[in-house]
A and B are shown apart, each in its own frame.
Chain A
Amino acid sequence: MRLVKRSPWLLGLGMLLAGVVMAPGARADVTTDQSGSLVIYPKVISDGTRDTLIQLSNRSNNFAFVHCFYVNTMGSCSLSGGSCRRDSDCDPGETCVRTCDGQNFDLVLTPQQPIQWRVSTGRLTVPFAPPCRPGQTCQCTFDTSSGQLVCPGLTVGDTNSAFVPQIGPNFEGELKCYQVDADGAPFGGNALKGTATIETLSTGQISEYNAISVLSGQVNPNRDLLLNGTEYNACPRNVVFVAPGEGSTDSFTTATVSTEVTLASCTELFEEAVPAPVTVRFVGYNELELTQSVEAFQFDCFFNDRLRELPGNVFSSTQGELWKIRVTPSSSNVCLTGTNRGGSCSSDADCPDFQTSPGGESLGCRPSPGVVGVAEQFFFRGLLEGTAAYNLHQESSRTFDIITVTTP
């Protein structure tokens, strides 16, 4: 209804779009304080203990068509099939297998529209959700038939279908959303901005961070999203963050402080349904100028763990009260696909059976994927934890990452 009323002046907005986002002095790295055509929520949790509230806004004066992927990195034990994050979560002899499967969905945002949803329940599309009124509780309602939330607001989509699908209580991973045109092809609107709030269900403790925005340039409307600084801005060369030494005692609260770092691969192979093999180096500098590092740390598509779980617990408070940690993707090449996936290589020949992207890019021997991430501090005292998430800083950029998508 509002669309109908507004539509006559939509025509005038076309010229505006360019004016709003055109700007000189282009940079080519990702950001957490500007809107982009691709937004990455590196840490999304719905595991029954914690849940996540996603906020996504359209910063433009046009409709924003959005295609999103949830990437569930919760693994399953190789034999028992139980949920796991790491091998130690499984029985001896089992390994934790991560598939990094993507679950995708589409959204339509009206001009300047902010929306929100709870990850575990998703949100239902309804023909009309009445606006809140003064003096009344402003709250979403639970739709028992679909298990989804119905919230006041304009949801464009098929009535009583999922505006955002429900994910359930067994999810840990990331969310990537990119802007598309009305036909579903990648579109460089730079209209999206996002925020995520992770909440501990038992205590209500919340952590909030800004989604990583990837601005776009000249977008090729195929199924390859190239984070090469030309089509989309490039992922950082390094990510840097400051964290107290693992297990250090906070002088004000006497709480024991621990930091969880989350890294998401910039390269995603949704079309090939293959997890991206990532190799990074952690280098920490403490307040005494002493250095500790973790070399050639490998994971598939996603890493989320406490610093103390890194090999050797090298960033513990016994080594330093405060650490500045730089995470650098490996400079060596790696096979993205094929039977040697994750193995080092010097050419595609080293990656038997490697695949090619929908846009014709080789997915064989390529520089190791880049990473983006978020950190979260936990103040532990008396069996309870206070939480605070924060974005990582970035240094320079690298132009090798690619996201292959399944639609249109």
Chain B
Amino acid sequence: MRKEDRDMDGQRKSRLVFSLGCLVTALALMSSASVAQKVTSEEPAGYLVFPKIVVDPSGGLNGTPRDTVIRITNTDGNNPRIAHCFYVDGTPRCSIGGGLDGFGACRTNEDCAPGGICAVRECAVINFDLTLTPGQPVGWRASEGVTTTGLCDGTAAGLPCSSDSDCPGSGNSCVQLGADDFGRVPPLGPGIFIGELKCVQVDRTTNITAGPGTPVNRNDLIGNASIYAVTPADSTVDVQSYNAIGVQAASEDGTTQGDTSMNLSDSGGEYAGCPAQVVVNHFFDAADLGGGRTVQSDITLVPCSEQLELNTVFSSVLQILVFNEFEQRFSTSTTLGCYRESRLSNLDRRPGQESTSIFNVNVQGTLAGQTVIRPVLSGDGDPGNGILAVVEEFHRTGNQRRSAAFNVHWRGSKNQADTVSY
């Protein structure tokens, strides 16, 4: 487009833009009049969400072994804190056949036995507790969890162990964590796991037979996750990291909430409300970033509302707007159940049809794009339709495949609560 054409175009649009600008901005601002606490990827919070945890020690998904290192830290340097955590299994699994790992994990129906459907169907939840001493940072490999009681010293310093024999290398011994033992975490391997981790800051568990502790009005937890793809076969060491999404408790007075049902709302909720929109800046799939580097992005979407331990899966409709560098807009829609991990081009196209997707550079014509995802609100907030997300970029240069993860942006505050109960 010539510059003159562009100016003319701008002139023709001016009146429309004026009114549209007023309207949209007014709406946006109405929704963005947010409270002090928020959904954040960088401030301590009382409720952490790690949208994407990947475990594939055998490389069944794409040939490269993958694992996720999870870090959680108690930022309160004076008091121990308890976190009650949930792994939610969002692995697509075959209705028929053993899939890629013998336990049904799959990418498409082709990974299943004839007639089998590959879908996220179980959303199984596993819970555990972390007891963090003041200021304690902890971490573990998702595939292995925490099944040991100490850490090696010497040349194996920091590797997990329960006894000296667990420590590789000669002369290394196992130093017991003792009072700093933060608990036992179930492993997600062997086999393939794709899912999320959610951790709630709870009170001291005064009734362990009644189940987990009750949420407390504190914001002391931060976390991040690093997803690895490592194989010496082709000298691959690929690491991507993102910050856990923190949903802050509205009050920080340290009191214990009334029950294990958490209300997420900017209008008097126990926690900050989930955003009205998720805004993602990305390169369009198959874009050439120069130097022979092509890129593709995956987005992972998880619901704000959860009925954990009730095996209840509810679905939300997501409206998606896509903008390119020509000020052109496209839209599509999709649904979200308990978990959705998808290449951008597969949000509107089936596998094999990516080149015709509105997320593909061959359709958009520019490298950079902006995508706005908005959940369609329904119901009374229990459950609500809020969403959280994280995005990964996969860069391919020749036969090298490297990746980076990054947090998305939030916009606005929806006038509907979300509820997390466990």
The answer to whether A and B touch in the complex, with CB atoms under 8 Å apart, is yes
Interface, chain A (partner B; CB < 8 A): 1-2, 4-5, 8-9, 12-13, 16, 20, 59-61, 111-112, 128, 130-135
Q: Which of B20-28, B203-211, B402-410 contacts A (4 or more CB under 8 A)?
A: B203-211
Whether A12 contacts B204 by the Cβ 8 Å rule is yes
Whether B209 contacts A61 by the Cβ 8 Å rule is yes
Contact of B205 among A9, A59, A135 (CB under 8 A): A9
Whether A133 contacts B206 by the Cβ 8 Å rule is no
Residue of B nearest to A12 (CB): B206
| Other 12 A-B pairs with CB < 8 A, given A8-B204, A13-B207 | A1-B179, A2-B181, A4-B179, A5-B181, A61-B207, A112-B208, A128-B149, A131-B184, A133-B147, A133-B162, A134-B187, A135-B190
Known: A16-B206, A61-B208, A112-B209. A131 touches B179 (CB 8 A): no
Q: Which 6 A-B pairs have the closest CB atoms?
A: A130-B162, A9-B204, A12-B206, A133-B147, A1-B178, A130-B163
**A134 CA / B188 CA spacing, docked (Å):** 10
B176 within 8 A of A: yes
**A133 CA / B143 CA spacing, docked (Å):** 13
Q: 14 interchain pairs (CB within 8 A)?
A: A1-B176, A1-B179, A1-B181, A2-B181, A5-B181, A8-B204, A9-B205, A16-B206, A60-B209, A61-B208, A112-B209, A131-B184, A132-B147, A133-B166
Contact of A9 among B163, B181, B206, B209 (CB under 8 A): B206
Interface, chain B (partner A; CB < 8 A): 131, 144-145, 147-149, 162-163, 166, 176, 178-179, 181, 184, 187, 190, 204-209
**A12 CA / B206 CA spacing, docked (Å):** 6
In the assembled complex, how far is the CB of residue B313 from the closest CB belonging to chain A, in whole angstroms? Answer: 28
Whether B147 contacts A131 by the Cβ 8 Å rule is yes
Residue of A nearest to B144 (CB): A134
Residue of A nearest to B182 (CB): A5
The secondary-structure label for the interface of chain B is loop
Question: What chain B residues lie within 8 Å of A1 (beta carbons)?
Answer: 176, 178-179, 181
In the assembled complex, how far is the CB of residue B211 from the closest CB belonging to chain A, in whole angstroms? Answer: 12
Question: What chain B residues lie within 8 Å of A128 (beta carbons)?
Answer: 149, 176
In the assembled complex, how far is the CB of residue A189 from the closest CB belonging to chain B, in whole angstroms? Answer: 14
Residue of A nearest to B204 (CB): A9
Whether B149 contacts A131 by the Cβ 8 Å rule is yes
**A376 CA / B242 CA spacing, docked (Å):** 60
Whether B209 contacts A5 by the Cβ 8 Å rule is no
Question: What chain B residues lie within 8 Å of A134 (beta carbons)?
Answer: 144-145, 147, 187
In the assembled complex, how far is the CB of residue A302 from the closest CB belonging to chain B, in whole angstroms? Answer: 35
Residue of A nearest to B131 (CB): A5
**A128 CA / B150 CA spacing, docked (Å):** 12
Residue of A nearest to B177 (CB): A1
**A20 CA / B209 CA spacing, docked (Å):** 9
Question: Which of A1, A5, A8 gathers most chain B CB within 10 Å?
Answer: A5
In the assembled complex, how far is the CB of residue B67 from the closest CB belonging to chain A, in whole angstroms? Answer: 14
Question: Which of A8, A13, A112, A133 gathers most chain B CB within 10 Å?
Answer: A133
Residue of A nearest to B148 (CB): A133
In the assembled complex, how far is the CB of residue A366 from the closest CB belonging to chain B, in whole angstroms? Answer: 39
Question: What chain B residues lie within 8 Å of A132 (beta carbons)?
Answer: 147
In the assembled complex, how far is the CB of residue B74 from the closest CB belonging to chain A, in whole angstroms? Answer: 14
Question: What chain B residues lie within 8 Å of A133 (beta carbons)?
Answer: 147-148, 162, 166
Residue of B nearest to A59 (CB): B209
**A135 CA / B179 CA spacing, docked (Å):** 26
In the assembled complex, how far is the CB of residue A23 from the closest CB belonging to chain B, in whole angstroms? Answer: 14
**A61 CA / B204 CA spacing, docked (Å):** 13
Residue of A nearest to B180 (CB): A5
In the assembled complex, how far is the CB of residue A109 from the closest CB belonging to chain B, in whole angstroms? Answer: 14
Question: What chain A residues lie within 8 Å of B207 (beta carbons)?
Answer: 13, 16, 61
Question: What chain B residues lie within 8 Å of A60 (beta carbons)?
Answer: 209
**A97 CA / B395 CA spacing, docked (Å):** 85
**A260 CA / B305 CA spacing, docked (Å):** 57
Question: What chain A residues lie within 8 Å of B178 (beta carbons)?
Answer: 1
Residue of A nearest to B145 (CB): A134
Question: What chain B residues lie within 8 Å of A2 (beta carbons)?
Answer: 181
**A16 CA / B144 CA spacing, docked (Å):** 35
In the assembled complex, how far is the CB of residue B102 from the closest CB belonging to chain A, in whole angstroms? Answer: 15
Question: What chain A residues lie within 8 Å of B147 (beta carbons)?
Answer: 131-134
**A130 CA / B204 CA spacing, docked (Å):** 26
Residue of B nearest to A9 (CB): B204
Contact of B208 among A4, A8, A111, A131 (CB under 8 A): A111
**A134 CA / B181 CA spacing, docked (Å):** 18
**A245 CA / B148 CA spacing, docked (Å):** 53
**A67 CA / B148 CA spacing, docked (Å):** 32
Whether B206 contacts A13 by the Cβ 8 Å rule is yes
**A251 CA / B135 CA spacing, docked (Å):** 68
Residue of B nearest to A2 (CB): B181
In the assembled complex, how far is the CB of residue A32 from the closest CB belonging to chain B, in whole angstroms? Answer: 20
**A61 CA / B209 CA spacing, docked (Å):** 7
**A20 CA / B206 CA spacing, docked (Å):** 12
In the assembled complex, how far is the CB of residue B343 from the closest CB belonging to chain A, in whole angstroms? Answer: 32
Known: A12-B204, A130-B162, A131-B162. A5 touches B179 (CB 8 A): yes
In the assembled complex, how far is the CB of residue B160 from the closest CB belonging to chain A, in whole angstroms? Answer: 9
**A134 CA / B178 CA spacing, docked (Å):** 21
Question: Which of A9, A112, A135 gathers most chain B CB within 10 Å?
Answer: A9
In the assembled complex, how far is the CB of residue A129 from the closest CB belonging to chain B, in whole angstroms? Answer: 9
**A223 CA / B184 CA spacing, docked (Å):** 41
Question: What chain A residues lie within 8 Å of B206 (beta carbons)?
Answer: 9, 12-13, 16
In the assembled complex, how far is the CB of residue B129 from the closest CB belonging to chain A, in whole angstroms? Answer: 11
Residue of B nearest to A134 (CB): B187
Question: What chain B residues lie within 8 Å of A59 (beta carbons)?
Answer: 209
**A134 CA / B207 CA spacing, docked (Å):** 29
**A5 CA / B147 CA spacing, docked (Å):** 18
Residue of A nearest to B209 (CB): A61
**A135 CA / B205 CA spacing, docked (Å):** 31
**A8 CA / B190 CA spacing, docked (Å):** 37
**A4 CA / B178 CA spacing, docked (Å):** 9
In the assembled complex, how far is the CB of residue B173 from the closest CB belonging to chain A, in whole angstroms? Answer: 13
In the assembled complex, how far is the CB of residue B400 from the closest CB belonging to chain A, in whole angstroms? Answer: 32
**A20 CA / B144 CA spacing, docked (Å):** 36
